[in-house]
Amino acid sequence: MNKKNNHNEELFLFKKYNYLILLASLFLLLLGFVLMVGGGGKTDFDFNEAIFSNQRVIVAPIVVIIGYIGMVFAIFYNDSRD
């Protein structure tokens, strides 16, 4: 019974594929938040209708939600073939 050999094989919590999914999800989160930036007025009292553009109201939140779902998937994914 070599319990030491089995313990030394598993040094990392995630596999390589988990880290790749995690990095891709992090990129999607950053992209979504960058898409939300902008649309402010020149002064505090100016109104700019660009804050209600489809990019900021529809596309960016969908990209952020996909990024969060990818993060959860990266944490729970277990490839037992490795």
Does some domain include residue 35?
yes
Return the higher-pLDDT residue of 5 and 67.
67
Q: What local confidence, expressed as pLDDT, does residue 11 receive?
A: 76
Does some domain include residue 63?
yes
Total number of domains constituting the chain: 1
Range of the domain at 48: 7-76
Q: What local confidence, expressed as pLDDT, does residue 25 receive?
A: 97
Does some domain include residue 56?
yes
Does some domain include residue 57?
yes
How many CB atoms neighbour CB 74 within 10 A? Answer: 19
In the predicted structure, residue 3 carries a pLDDT above the cut 80: no
CB 28, CB 40: distance < 8 Å: no
Does some domain include residue 1?
no
Helices (H), the chain: 3-9, 16-36, 54, 60-76
Does some domain include residue 21?
yes
6-60 per-position pLDDT tens digit:
555 667 788 899 999 999 999 999 999 999 998 777 887 888 888 899 999 999 9
Does some domain include residue 81?
no
